[in-house]
Amino acid sequence: MKKSFQWNKIKLVVLQTTTRVILGIIFTASAISVVYFGRKPYGEELKEGDVSLKTLYAPIDFKYQLGIDEEKTKLEREKAAETVDEIYDIGTDIDENLIDRVNKLFDRLIAIQKSTTTNEEEKLKEAKDIIEVKMSESDLKAFLADPGLENTKSKIKVLVQELLPKGIITASLEKKIIKSGRTHIFLKSLNTQEESKVALESLLRLKDVEKEVTVMVQDLLPENRKLRIAVINLTQRILESNLEFNKELTEQRRQIAYDNAPIQYKEKEVKKEELIVARGERISRNHLLKIKEVFHRQEKVNRLMFFSGATILTLIFLLVIFLYLKFFEPKILLSTRKLTLIVILFILILGLAKVITYSPIPSYAIPTAIASILIALLIGPRLAIIITIALSIFVGIIAGDKLSVATVSFVGGIMGIFFIQGARRRSQILITGCVVGLTNFVCICAIELLHGLEYTIFLKEAFWGVINGVGGAIIITGMLPVFEYSFNIVTNISLLELSDLNHPLLREMVLKAPGTYHHSLIVGNLAEGASEAIGANALLARVGSYFHDIGKTEKAEYFSENQVGTAKKKHDKLTPSMSSLIITNHVKDGVDLAHKYKLNEGIIDFIEQHHGTSLIYYFYQRALEKVEDDQVLKEEGFRYPGPKPQTKETAVVLLADSVEAASRTLGEPTPARIKGLVRKIINNKFIDNQLDQCDLTLKNLEIIGDTFTRILMGIFHSRIEYETGENSKSENKGRNKRQAEKNSHK
C-alpha cells in the first residue's frame, strides 16, 4: 500500500512537471511568434508626414529608386516583346491541298494510261495538255509506262505525308526570320492544337527536299530507276512551304510579354554612413524610399538579430515569472489551471497588440489592463503586477520599440490592479475601467508634451487611451464569468452572488436542517470577522461557511443541532463506529451536493476541509468503553477523511465551526468562559496538527481567538448571567454536562 502511494505521488510530480514544461514551451513559442513574425524594424512602419524619433544612417552603399523611368521602361517592354518567337500553324488545310493535288494528278495520268489511244506520242501530248504540273517528257513517259501507277500514287502520298510534319520552310521566310534575330519558331499543329518550339535548322528547306526524297524513294521504289527519278522530280515540283504565320496569336503573346516586362526606375546612389533621416525630421517620400531600400538589403541580418533578441527576452521574462512563482507563489506554480490562465491571457494581449499595430488604430489602444485586472481578480494582485511589467515591455516592442506605449500600458495596468482590489460588484469593474482610461489619457498627454507637440495632434490619441480603459472594462465584464467557469476560480463578484441566502441549497437546508442553517450563519459571521482581521478573504470565508455543512441535509436528524424530541436518541440504537460513519459521511454527501449544484471548487474546499482529519471524540470514547482490554482501537476509524485546511480561509472556518458548536454548551457564557473556550478549541486544533498545512501564524491564531471572543460576546450578551452562589454553580455544571453530551453528536 505504501509503495503504491509513493508511486502515485511520483507520477503526480512527473505529470505536474511535464505540464509546466509544456506550458512554458507554449508560452515561449507563442510570445516569440507574436513578437517576431510580421515585425517591422524601426523605419519601415513610418509613413509620409511622420516625425522620426531616431537618426538613421546608411549602413552600406546602396542605390534606391526615385521613380519610374518611362523611356527605359518602354524600351525594355519593346525588347521583351521582340524576344517572343513567331508562331506558325502547320497541318490540316495546307497538307490536304497537297494531297488533293497528288490525287488529281494521278487520277488524270491513270485515265490517260487506260484510254483507247494506243499511240504513245498522242498519250504523251494529251498528258502535257491537261496536267498543270510541268514535268519533263521522260518523267511523263516513266509514269505512263508504270503498270502499277495506282500503287505509285499511294507511295507518293505516303512520301508527302511523311515530309509535311517536319515543317517545310522557304528560303525567303528563313531569311526573314534570321534577319529578326531569332533562331527558333513555334509550330502549332492544327490537328492536335499542340505547340512545340523548334530550331530553324531542324526545318526542312525546299532546296533540301531532293536529298530527303531520294533516300525515301530508294526504299519505296527500289526496282525502277526511271520511275524513282520521276517521283523525285514530281515531289520537288508539288511540295511547297506548309508553314502559315499565326499573326493573331503571336501578337497576343508579344503583348503579354510587353505588359509583363519589369518597370525601369531612376536610381540614386547613397554612400555608407550617409545621413538618411535626422531625429525630429518630418518623413518625406524620399526618406521612405531610402529606408525601404536599406532595410530590404539587410532584411536577413535584421530578422536574425531580432529573432535572437525576441527569444532571449522571452526566456528572461519566463525565468523571472518562474522564479517569482517558485519563491513567492509556489501554490500557483503547482496549479495547472492558473498557469494555463496566465499563458492564455498573456498570448491574448500580445495577439491584440499585433492586430492593433497593423490597424489604423493608434498603439495606445492596446488593452494591456485587461490581463492585469483579470489576473488580479482571478489569481492575485502581486502576480498581476509582475505579468503587467512583462506584458508592457512586449507591447512596446510590438508597437515598434515605443517606450511611450510600454509606459502607458504599464501605468494603466497597475492602476487597474490597485483599483480593482476588493471589488464585489461588476459596477466596480466599470469604475476601474474609467480610472484606467483617465490614467491613460493623462499619461499620453504628458508623454506627447515631452515631445513638444501641439495639443491638437496628441489629443486624438489620448482619447484612444480613454477608449482603451472603458472598452477593456466592458470586455472584462463579459469575459470574467467565462474564465471563472472555465478555470473553476471564484472571485468576490461570484462569491457575492453565492452569498444570496435564496440559493437552492441554502433554502433546502432551512427546510431539512434548520439548526445547521442557523449554525452556518453564525459560523459565517465568525469566519468573516476573523478573516478580515488577519487580512484573508473575508467574503470567501463567509460564503464557504454558508455551504460547509450542506451535507447534513441528507441525514439532518443525526446531528445535534437539528435534534428535537425523540430524534435526540437516534445514535443510541447505533454502534459508535456506525454513528461515526454517519457523521463523517456528511462531508462526502456535501461534496456530492456541491457537484450536483455546480458549486465552484473553491467552495467545495470548505466542505472537504472544514473538519480536516479531526477525531470524533465522543463516539471514539464510547467505542473505547466497549473495547476489551486486549483489543486495540485505532483512531483512524473515528477521524474525518480530510484533507486538512490548505488556506487561511478554510482553516478559519474549521476553527469557527468548532468554536460555534462548543459555545452552545456554555450555560453561563461569561466573557472569561467564552475566551477560555475559544483558546482551548484553537489550542486543541493546533496540537492535533490540523493547521500545519495552511499559512496561519501564531500571531494570526491570537487575532482569530480575540475576534471569535468579541463576536461571541456580542451574540451572548443579552443572556449573560453573573455567578451569585454555590447553588447556581452546581446547576450550571449540570447544565453544561448535558449540553456537552448533546453537542458531541455533532
Instruction: At 670, list the grid cell.
Output: 461569561
> Does residue 205 sit in the same domain as residue 122?
yes
Cell numbers describing residue 328: 513567492
Q: At 51, phi and psi to the nearest 5? A: -100, 125
Both 558 and 656 in one domain: the answer is yes
Indicate if the pLDDT at residue 532 is higher than 90.
yes
In a domain, 304, yes or no: no
Amino acid 336: pLDDT = 85
538 has pLDDT over 90: yes
Q: Which of 650, 657, 658, 556 shows the shortest CA–CA distance to 601?
A: 650
- Partners of 205 in beta bridges: 169
Same domain membership, residue 401 and residue 543: no
- What is the distance between the alpha carbons of residues 588 and 387, in angstroms, rounded to a whole number? 38
Residue 77 in any domain: the answer is: no
Last residue of a domain, one of 489, 506, 537: 489
Statement to judge: residues 483 and 579 lie in one domain: no
In a domain, 554, yes or no: yes
Pick from 616, 605, 607: nearest CA to 694: 605
Residue 738 has a pLDDT of 45
Residues 332, 225, single domain; the answer is no
For residue 14, how many other CB atoms are within 10 A of its CB? 10
Helices then strands (H, E): number in the chain? 30, 10
For residue 247, being part of any structural domain is answered with yes
Lowest-confidence pick of 383-387, 438-442, 462-466, 738-742: 738-742
C-alpha torsion sign, points 159, 161, 164, 165: negative
For 465, the domain range is 2-37+312-489
Q: How far is CA 352 from CA 349, 363, 444, in A?
A: 5, 10, 20
User: Which of residues 431, 466, 489 is at a domain's end?
Assistant: 489
Residue 720 is predicted with a pLDDT of 45
Residues facing 199 on adjacent strands: 184
Confidence of residue 457 (pLDDT cuts 50, 70, 90): low
Nearest C-alpha neighbor of 366 from the set 384, 354, 375:
354
97 shares its domain with 233: yes
- The band of 742, judged by pLDDT with boundaries at 50, 70 and 90, is very low
With respect to residue 44, please indicate whether it lies within any of the assigned structural domains: no
- Above 50 in pLDDT, residue 725? no
- Cell matching residue 215: 533516300
Number of structural domains, the chain? 3
Core vs surface per residue 161-174: b (16+ CB within 10 A) or e: eebbeebbbeeebb
Query: Percentage of the chain surpassing pLDDT 90?
Result: 27
- 51 is a domain residue: no
740 pLDDT above the threshold of 50: no
CA distance 621 to 220: 128
Mean pLDDT score, 490-495:
86
Q: Do 516 and 409 share a structural domain?
A: no
Q: What are phi and psi of 627, to 5 degrees?
A: -85, 135
In 379-470, the DSSP E strands lie at none
Please tell me the distance from the alpha carbon of residue 687 to that of residue 664, in angstroms, as a whole number: 23
Cα gap 19→23, rounded to integer Å: 6
Of the candidates 131, 666, 629, 14, the residue with the CA atom closest to the CA atom of residue 6: 14
Q: What is the pLDDT of residue 681?
A: 93
3-state per-residue secondary structure call for 617-665:
HHHHHHHHHHCCCCCCCCHHHHECCCCCCCCHHHHHHHHHHHHHHHHCC
Taking residues 368-375, report their average pLDDT.
95
| CA 507 – CA 513 distance, rounded (Å) | 10
Same domain for 321 and 210: no
Decide if 607 is inside a domain: yes
Closest by CA to 314, choosing from 256, 257, 247, 393, is: 393
Identify which of 200, 281, 206 has the alpha carbon closest to the alpha carbon of residue 237: 206
pLDDT at 630: 57
Identify whether residues 437 and 508 lie together within a single domain.
Answer: no
Angle at 380 between CA 374 and CA 381, to 5 degrees: 85
Give the pLDDT mean for 185-201.
80
C-alpha cell at 609: 476541509
Q: Are 533 and 719 in contact (CB under 8 A)?
A: no
**What pLDDT is attached to residue 331?**
82
Taking the C-alpha atoms of residue 562 and residue 556, their distance in angstroms, rounded to an integer, is 6
Q: What is the mean pLDDT of the chain?
A: 81
Give the pLDDT score at 745.
43
Q: Report the Cα 332 to chain-centroid distance in Å.
A: 23
**What is the pLDDT, as a whole number, of residue 54?**
73
Tens digit of each residue's pLDDT (9 = 90 or more) over 626-660: 776 656 677 777 888 889 999 999 999 999 999 99
Lowest mean pLDDT of 38-47, 196-205, 244-253, 579-588, name the range. Answer: 38-47
User: Is residue 730 pLDDT above 50, yes or no?
Assistant: no
Average pLDDT over residues 129-151: 73
Residue 441 confidence (pLDDT): 93
Identify the pLDDT of residue 7: 66
Cα 482 to Cα 251: distance, rounded to the nearest angstrom: 65
CA nearest 640: which of 716, 746, 489? 746
Query: Is 235 inside any structural domain?
Result: yes
187 beta partners: 88, 196
- Of 489, 518, 545, the position where a domain reaches its end is 489
Three-state DSSP class for 281? coil
Q: What per-residue confidence (pLDDT) applies to 303?
A: 66
Helix axes 93-113, 120-130, angle to 10 degrees: 160
Phi, psi of 87 (to 5 degrees): -115, 130
Same domain, 20 and 131: no
pLDDT at residue 736, rounded to an integer:
47
On whether the CB atoms of residues 220 and 158 are closer than 8 A, the answer is: yes
pLDDT at 190: 76
pLDDT higher than 60, residue 724: no
Rounded mean pLDDT, 109-119 = 71
Q: Is 537 in the same domain as 654? A: yes
d(CA 436, CA 415): 6
What CATH number does the domain containing 718 carry? 1.10.3210.10
Give me the mean pLDDT over the 372-380 stretch. 93
Q: Output the 3-class SS for 453-487.
A: CCHHHHHHHHHHHHHHHHHHHHHHHHHHHHHHHHH
Name the residue type at position 495.
L
**pLDDT at residue 9, rounded to an integer:** 62
Three-state DSSP class for 188? strand
For the ranges 98-102, 373-377, 663-667, 734-738, the maximum mean pLDDT occurs at 373-377
By three-state DSSP, how is residue 222 classified?
coil
> Both 499 and 366 in a single domain?
no
Q: What mean pLDDT do residues 16-28 have?
A: 81
Name residues whose C-beta falls within 8 Å of residue 419's C-beta, 6 or more positions apart in sequence: 431, 432, 435, 436
Cell 488580479, residue? Answer: 376
Three-state SS at 415? helix
Q: Which residue in the block uniquely carries the three cell numbers 509620409?
A: 48
In this prediction, residue 93 carries a pLDDT of 67
Q: Is residue 443 within 8 Å of residue 407, measured between CB atoms?
A: yes
Strand partners, 639: 615
Q: Which of 7-16, 105-114, 323-332, 714-723 has the lowest mean pLDDT?
A: 714-723
> What pLDDT is attached to residue 527?
95
- At residue 369, the pLDDT reads 94
Mean pLDDT along residues 401-421:
92
Place of cell 493535288: 101
Amino acid, single-letter form, for residue 332: I
Which of 75-79, 387-391, 403-407, 610-614 is predicted with the least confidence, judged by mean pLDDT?
A: 75-79
Burial 275-312 (b: 16+ CB within 10 A, else e): ebbeeeeebeeebbbbbebbbebeeeebeeebeeebbe
Instruction: Report the alpha-carbon distance of residue 624 to residue 258 in Å, rounded.
Output: 107
Instruction: Give yes or no for a contact between 353 and 394, defined as CB atoms under 8 angstroms apart.
Output: yes
* 8-state DSSP, 85: P
Higher pLDDT, 90 or 118: 90
Q: CATH number, domain at 345? A: 1.10.1760.20
Q: Place 739 in a pLDDT band, splitting at 50, 70 and 90.
A: very low
Question: What is the 3-state composition of the chain as percent helix, strand, coil, each rounded to the nearest 5?
Answer: 70, 5, 25
pLDDT band, residue 1 (cuts 50/70/90): very low
Among residues 27, 34, 25, 54, the alpha carbon closest in space to that of 42 is found at 54
Q: CB of 586 within 8 A of CB of 547?
A: no
C-beta of residue 253 within 8 angstroms of C-beta of residue 84: yes
